[in-house]
Chain A
């Protein structure tokens, strides 16, 4: 019988220091067969391991439209992520996945897309953004509102510039008051406030929202005010996990196992969950 806990080996092909505490990797599976057959969808997550330190859970930050590799982005915060951040290009780590459900991208075809992310929560949204941009003609207007505490906390800065330069993406970046540097050209203000100013149309629109719980809490009412139905607001829940397989017992919110029934939920689904997250 197959060992469900055995990771694939993946080599770090590119490493980028996104911020003072955040790193992103481009990972290529060591095994040719895995590299060719590996498939995933935007929203899926994985268990990343540094052998000798353990495993850590985060999303796949790349888009399945770009084959042959996966990307991830993480903050060095605990034992595993700190040692992961010390790994260099050429080093080998472990990856188990893809796990969980995903964003039903096809059901968003023909719609306006509004992406809202805060801080380190851009990576899960970025997977959807890249997926949408790679199929750009299938969608209407694309708006991205991305904020962080300070300029230094914004991840994927190189990509933000690319999105900014595109004529078919409306990118709004913002930092919390006091977090702006001298050269900051973006907005200053909390994400919910800025979203209200930007006021994207809710007409034939889907919103994808990821961020710290406090940001989610204050952004949902703004989306409602703008006319978004709860069924059209998508988010991911990021509970602590060990197995990612529905067995280890810690990621459930009431009766919902985030690892198997999530991590992607609509705001309507989240509203029905008990206050256990």
Chain B
């Protein structure tokens, strides 16, 4: 089935139309040398030239999220529920690796207990993904975790920038198809399946050098104790940058903030790389040393989560690789595990 096409130059106009219809809009904009996904900015600033530093997760799982309010009246306490925002949201220009993170983390937020703060936002969010003609960053490794630069997973609409000027549009889901009218305004022509197919192949080709990680889980399951962990990950500072930039990391803390007799309970991003994360009251820490915490992160992503939910908790977006202050590449770590497994070590 052919895809409708539109001009690349019309993408900011389309984004503005979508926001004008009362939707919350998140899109990548340039701030200094980096791109960031931001809300409440002028759609004219849409910048799709690189992979943004932050992921789209904060649209559904904000850094700091109010979960309830409390008010003391003498010895009594009144607790007030908080409803997450109800406003329809469009994430415009997500990369396939970001969109793919949403169905990966969904089962976690619904594991027996349903987190309404994630779910309500998720149900109101439409993801318009900008597929990658070429891997947009040196750090990209989506192909290693079973995805691709034009993966449709988690997207409602996928845009294929066939060349500098032309974008093919793939309305995938019901929520995506509901935007057909907005897209129709900018229709220019149509692209044949073959054009999109060769776009997809070109993207895959740009990551042909990346390893398959098919033996990683098996090795991890058998080598909880191994000198590899200390040797390979000792340089980790425990700064947590990787966890905050990761589209799939979802660990959080719960904290209260009071003003006089009342206040707010917050759910805040936290990270497994911090020593305090697991510190017991007694002073005992199950993961007291940094290599143990690094191992936890790798195990969680490549073994524990796949066992629990059948999905690798990583989309190969490469942010943790590109922004690690000591150049400890997660890809390098898991690729080394793959090599150890291949060598039978």
| Interface set of A (CB-CB < 8 Å, partner B) | 1-7, 9, 49, 51-55, 75, 77-78, 81, 90-92, 94, 212-213, 238-240, 242-243, 245-255, 260, 274-277
Contact = CB atoms under 8 A, between A and B. Distances in A.
B180 interface: no
A54 B308 CA distance: 29
Interface of B: 67-68, 70, 72, 75-77, 79, 81-82, 108-109, 111-116, 119-120, 224-225, 250-256, 258, 263, 265, 267, 270, 272, 277-282, 284, 286-287, 292, 296, 299-300, 303-304, 307-308
Nearest to B76: A92
Contacts of A212: 282
Given A242-B254, A248-B253, A249-B252, A78 B281 contact: yes
Contact of B254 (A55, A253, A254): A55
A179 B249 CA distance: 47
Contacts of A51: 70, 72, 77, 79, 256, 258, 263, 265
Given A212-B282, A243-B254, A250-B278, A255 B75 contact: no
Contacts of B272: 249-250
A260 B112 contact: yes
Given A6-B68, A242-B253, 19 more contacts: A2-B116, A5-B68, A51-B72, A54-B255, A75-B281, A92-B77, A94-B79, A239-B278, A242-B270, A246-B108, A247-B109, A249-B270, A249-B300, A252-B296, A252-B300, A253-B286, A254-B224, A260-B112, A275-B225
A274 B229 CA distance: 14
Contacts of A2: 114, 116
Given A5-B68, A6-B81, A248-B270, A276 B307 contact: no
Contact of A5 (B119, B263, B267, B286): B267
A247 B108 contact: yes
B75 A91 contact: yes
B278 to A, nearest CB: 5
B286 A54 contact: no
B152 to A, nearest CB: 27
A245 B300 CA distance: 17
Contacts of A81: 281
Name the residue among A2, A253, A254 with the largest chain B CB count within 10 angstroms: A254
A241 to B, nearest CB: 10
Contacts of B77: 9, 51, 92, 94
Contacts of B308: 255
Contacts of B286: 239, 253, 276-277
A90 B74 CA distance: 11
B304 A255 contact: yes
Contact of B116 (A3, A7, A77): A3
B70 A90 contact: no
A94 to B, nearest CB: 7
Contact of B292 (A53, A54, A245, A276): A276
B251 A248 contact: yes
Nearest to A53: B256
Contacts of B300: 249, 252
A186 B82 CA distance: 53
Contact of A3 (B67, B70, B251, B252): B67
Contacts of B111: 245-247, 260
Contacts of B250: 247, 249
B251 A1 contact: no
B224 A276 contact: yes
Contacts of A9: 77, 79
4 A-B pairs with the lowest CB-CB distances in the bound complex, closest first: A249-B251, A1-B116, A51-B70, A274-B224
A56 B332 CA distance: 38
Given A5-B68, A239-B280, A276-B224, A255 B307 contact: yes
A55 B272 CA distance: 19
A276 B291 CA distance: 12
B309 to A, nearest CB: 11
A172 B32 CA distance: 70
A276 B79 contact: no
B75 A92 contact: yes
A154 B3 CA distance: 74
A247 B75 contact: no
A5 B255 CA distance: 12
10 contacts: A1-B114, A3-B116, A5-B68, A7-B79, A55-B254, A92-B76, A242-B270, A245-B113, A249-B300, A250-B278
B113 A247 contact: yes
Contact of B68 (A3, A77, A245, A260): A3
A52 B263 contact: yes
